[in-house]
Amino acid sequence: MFAIILGVFLLLSSPGQQYPFLPGSKHSNQELAPLSFNQNGRFRISIFEDLHFGENAWDTWGPAQDVKSVGVINQVLDSEPDIDFVVLNGDLITGENTFVENSTLYLDQMVAPIVERNLTWSSTYGNHDSSFNLSRNHIFDHEVSQWPLHSRTRSMVSHPNAGVSNYYLPVYPRPDCTATTCLPALILWFFDSRGGHFFQQSTATGPNRTNVSTWITQADWVDENVVTWFQETNSEIQSQSDGKVIPSLAFVHIPINASHTLQEKGINAHKQPGVNEDNPIGGQGLGWCADGRNDGTCAYGEQDVPFMKALASTQGLVAVFSGHDHGDTWCARWDGTIPSETTGRKGNKRGLDLCFGQHTGHGGYGNFIRGGRQVLVTLDGIGSGGKDAELDTWIRLENGNVVGAVTLNNTYGHDVYPVTPDERT
């Protein structure tokens, strides 16, 4: 029976599987060793987000701030020597300032510190990774073709409205595991919250085609087709686990609006340490109407409600990590209640932790001190992703300091921690 279970799971998660990539995209047939916990049962993730490479290449300050951003990545990785895996959680490039012809150069520049340390990474794409002159498909194609032994970014939903970076990765319990010998101990989910502008699409023709005011805006929430894929795929994965819930973490660039609800209730600087300067948050679907209009007449159309419901009802999902809001760095516990409803739908009795990271790049708005969120997961701590699951997380700053170190466990939200200083560069 166990062999049958493993065989079916192999079809779902084998590193050598030919994933359903988007039409026209390229990928390498070379295989990466699967992700795994180390021999001590630990798995460390370093999250970089809002890098915003490529701003104003025609001025001296643009390339100079990209060099500073590389320095941030180097500093964090030097200060965190036991990293197993890196996540680039959106807005890799400021697409409004770049072109297809040079965007890949910025990608190569930002991942150089990761490659030099022989680490692997996965990306989600953000709202600035799509613009009239920049395609997230183009970024994706370059990632997987140029860096086949380092990029784990995938694209598993081929619907035209899905975006690109929707996929999952299994993490196995030991380094000697393969998809044929072990079941995963952890699943990492990656979602594309889209946003920005459609590549080469304009409401005008002729010389006016490239006017910013004519660019066509892309929806900025996780599409319902992705939600359906997530629920069906997770159900299939969990059905092969012989009754054991496989815990999981999720990464998405634009935060869900449940984070705004938590912010409205109040972020306690001692109990949910972190900077809370972007208030209100810029959540998914901000400025859209329920009927799909984005004309400045609506505040929020609730388009991320299906995604929120799916997250809240997913057994074993422990935490969701977002970026986008450069001035928010806190974690808070969500009870699963949808902002427009009154009843929570938790996948476990404890609720779900929603975390922001730290603005990494010297591009993008704000002069908040740069850094990256770190996550430590242990086999003993994560368990089955139930009410007793716990993980440690902290932010490593570009000056080498650590802030916001917390344990996301049963008592998070009640435990008292040092206040995170609101430092600026």
Decide if pLDDT at 153 tops 50: yes
CA 78 – CA 322 distance, rounded (Å): 23
Reduced to 3 states, what is the DSSP secondary structure of residue 190?
Answer: strand
Half-sphere exposure of 79 (CA within 13 A, CB side): 20
Cβ 155 vs Cβ 120: under 8 Å: no
Going by their DSSP bridges, the two strands 371-378 and 402-408 should be labelled as unpaired
CA 274 – CA 403 distance, rounded (Å): 8
Specify the DSSP class assigned to residue 53.
Answer: B
Confidence of residue 9 (pLDDT cuts 50, 70, 90): very low
More confident residue, 22 or 35: 35
* Residue 56 burial by Cβ neighbours in a 10 Å radius (0-12, 13-18, 19+): middle
Cβ 44 vs Cβ 375: under 8 Å: yes
Decide if 416 is inside a domain. no
Give the global pTM. 0.93
Decide if 214 is inside a domain. yes
Confidence of residue 271 (pLDDT cuts 50, 70, 90): very high
38 Cβ contact partners less than 8 Å away, ≥ 6 residues apart: 84, 175
Decide if 394 is inside a domain. yes
Q: What is the pLDDT of residue 419?
A: 98
- How many CB atoms neighbour CB 62 within 10 A? 16
Give the CATH number, domain containing residue 229: 3.60.21.10
Mean pLDDT, residues 44-67 taken together: 96
Which stretch of 68-72, 205-209, 409-413 has the lowest confidence by average pLDDT?
A: 205-209
CA 334 – CA 357 distance, rounded (Å): 17
CA 148 – CA 114 distance, rounded (Å): 13
Half-sphere exposure of 95 (CA within 13 A, CB side): 28
Q: What is the pLDDT of residue 208?
A: 87
Decide if 23 is inside a domain. no
Nearest to 331 by CA among 309, 302, 351, 360: 351
Q: What is the pLDDT of residue 8?
A: 35
Q: What is the pLDDT of residue 242?
A: 84
Domain total in the chain: 1
162 Cβ contact partners less than 8 Å away, ≥ 6 residues apart: 192, 223, 225, 226, 229
131-149: per-residue pLDDT in tens? Answer: 999 999 999 999 999 999 9
CA 258 – CA 64 distance, rounded (Å): 37
Decide if pLDDT at 263 tops 50: yes
Decide if 418 is inside a domain. no
Q: What is the pLDDT of residue 13?
A: 38
295 Cβ contact partners less than 8 Å away, ≥ 6 residues apart: 289
Cis before 306 (ω within 30): no
Decide if 29 is inside a domain. no
Helical residues (DSSP H) of 271-348, grouped into ranges? 305-312
CA distances from 422 to 272, 302, 361, 365, 399 (A): 14, 31, 17, 15, 14
Cβ 373 vs Cβ 393: under 8 Å: yes
Q: Return the exposure string of 208-247: e unless at least 16 CB atoms fall within 10 Å of the residue's CB, then b.
A: eeeeeeebeebbbbbbbbbbebbeebbeebbebeeeebbb
Nearest to 332 by CA among 321, 346, 343: 321
Range of the domain at 7: 2-14+38-408
Q: How much is the mean pLDDT over the chain?
A: 91
Q: What is the pLDDT of residue 404?
A: 98
Confidence of residue 129 (pLDDT cuts 50, 70, 90): very high
Decide if pLDDT at 304 tops 80: yes
Decide if 44 is inside a domain. yes
Q: What is the pLDDT of residue 344?
A: 65
Mean pLDDT, residues 362-391 taken together: 96
84-116: per-residue pLDDT in tens? Answer: 999 999 999 999 998 878 888 999 999 999 999
Please name the amino acid found at residue 181. Answer: T
Q: Return the exposure string of 139-152: e unless at least 16 CB atoms fall within 10 Å of the residue's CB, then b.
A: bbbbbbeebeebbb
State the Cα angle at 256 between 251 and 258, rounded to 5°.
Answer: 125
Q: What percent of the chain has pLDDT over 90?
A: 83
325-362: per-residue pLDDT in tens? Answer: 999 999 999 999 998 887 666 666 789 999 999 999 99
Decide if 67 is inside a domain. yes
The label of the residue with tokens 């952890």 reads 186
Decide if pLDDT at 6 tops 70: no
Reduced to 3 states, what is the DSSP secondary structure of residue 1?
Answer: coil
Decide if pLDDT at 4 tops 80: no
